[in-house]
Structure 1
């Protein structure tokens, strides 16, 4: 294989993926690479495309469940300083796609820019947040996105902006392989007031969500006008456990994992929740996390 020949020293075979996700579950990647530059990333993607090898991009791993059998093809993880820079120019925040969302938020608030503070406590990268239009009751990140630089599965790079970007609840029109960078258009605010609001929201979230356990954030999308967590709780599922996977007793839209848990346990628990909510409420819950 040309990919292994040309990038043999950069690719690891049968790399355990569990260590790269928040749930700490799942099998290995057939091939795994952590490029050290955008140029190297592009070369890897182009080589894989030439050989018709499927490629997946692994971000922060906070919203991802890897199946026990693992993933075929090439998994690329952006690590270190690659695409992780954050800078502020006036009201515009420029962030590499691999920058942690928490870092982008803190940099924005420190610069006296409002619009991201309500996202405090959401894990993962800015790229993942934009792709899934992360947010909550106080707002979504798509509201402040001005442009997005992307790379396709062929290694082509271009910028999407304006009408080329669509954001809906936990959805964006961005379907390219990599989000290289984003530009966020924020508003001026008072640093002390923004910091106070951010801390208040963080305390509220920390009190209601199982941050101390291994979890992947909300498992299901909220049906229009309803709360998935409330529907699950009303179905009597809080604390329900299959193997090492359990519906959190703090927030029913979280699944926490215990020693010995498998991805199959989580998937079986997801199916049980969907079935029970469908029986009790006539509503089909849609999974929010990504499953490979």
Structure 2
């Protein structure tokens, strides 16, 4: 790994704990932690990892991620430069870096009188993560607004996916390249005041129903077709169930809350317990929405 660390020494650190970068705040270190500041650096890092056969993961907002206690034996790339967090608006077109916080993109578009993203209020993470997993809720998903996505492959090659190369499904997109760099979205004009009122109403409803003030990730499980994962878990009597220092939220059963001293292993055991119970009681196999490294 010496060639990579020498070539990008000013943006590379070793054995960096990943827990603070995740919403669950558990998990071990990254063998290498690299923070490219420009697209050129990013492409160079990816190409170097490919050349040296170093496993790579991209870390976004960490809101739908569980890192195992042993950490990740490879390179974790974290987009840190301004180029990856900028947001610009031209008419009804929004262009934003993938590392921009989704909440920031939402507030910028609402202030500009552009409708569409306000229904996503309260969803954590970055724009890139939201697009890759087609984040959304009962009022709609982000995919319907995405028109183009700049990506970089695992070989370090850059290209743009246009509308006909983009497909979105429930918590899924057709984007399988290593990195989403930026995206273009098309929204619709609407009165900023009415948008703000709608966004605040949705935020209040979400805040009342989810454990947003606690140490938790987004939803742990995908909703099975036509069903609610949270309702299935609650009906199985699992609200408040604990394993060590983590528990099923008593506010919304599709959230797991971690307390100080919690480990990734405890979260995984609780996930397995929930899956087993829901399968036995309802005959439904829950599928993870979060990623596990």
How would you bin the TM-score normalised by the shorter chain? over 0.9
**Per the alignment, in what secondary structure is the counterpart of residue 42 of structure 1?**
helix
**Length-normalised TM-score, structure 2:** 0.98
Aligned residues: 292
Give me the whole-angstrom Cα distance separating, in 1, the residues matched to 2:7 and 2:265. 36
Alpha-carbon distance in 1 for matches of 2:244, 2:21:
22
The residue that corresponds to 2:196 in the other structure is 195
Alignment partners' CA distance in 1, 2:8 and 2:170: 39
The within-5 A match list for 1:73-84 is 73-84=74-85
Q: Which residue of 1 aligns with 2:180?
A: 179
Structure 2 CA distance for aligned equivalents of residues 212 and 33 of structure 1: 30
SS in 1 for 2:57: strand
Distance 1:66 1:198 in 2: 32
Please give the alpha-carbon distance, in whole angstroms, between the structure 1 residues aligned to 2:11 and 2:171.
Answer: 34
SS at match of 1:13: strand
Q: Shift of residue 10 of structure 1?
A: 2.4
2:13 counterpart residue number? 12
1: CA distance between counterparts of 2:33 and 2:83?
16
1:279 paired to 2:269: no
Gaps of 5+ in 1: none
Cα distance between partner residues in 1 of 2:80 and 2:164: 31
2:29 maps to 1:24: no
Moved over 6 A (4+): none
Secondary structure of the 1:150 match is strand
Match of 2:233 in 1: 232
* 1:290 matches 2:291: yes
Shift of residue 226 of structure 1? 0.6
> C-alpha separation between the residues in 1 aligned to 2:214 and 2:97?
28
Partner SS for 2:84? coil
Instruction: Give unmatched runs, 5+ long, in structure 2.
Output: none
CA distance in 2, matches of 1:265, 1:40: 37
1:133 matches 2:134: yes
- The alpha-carbon deviation at position 80 of structure 1 amounts to 4.6
Q: Secondary structure at the residue paired with 2:261?
A: coil
Partner residue of 1:56?
Answer: 57
Instruction: Return the TM-score normalized by structure 1.
Output: 0.98
Other-structure match for 2:244: 243
Deviates more, 1:71-80 or 1:274-283: 71-80
Q: Distance in 2 between matches of 1:147 and 1:289?
A: 25
CA distance in 2, matches of 1:162, 1:259: 44
Alignment match, 1:102: 103
Give the Å deviation of 1:4: 1.9
* RMSD value, Cα: 0.9
Deviation of the 1:54 alpha carbon: 1.1
- Once the two structures are superposed, the pairs formed by residues 125-164 of structure 1 within 5 Å of their partners are 125-164=126-165
Q: Which residue of structure 1 aligns with residue 72 of structure 2?
A: 71
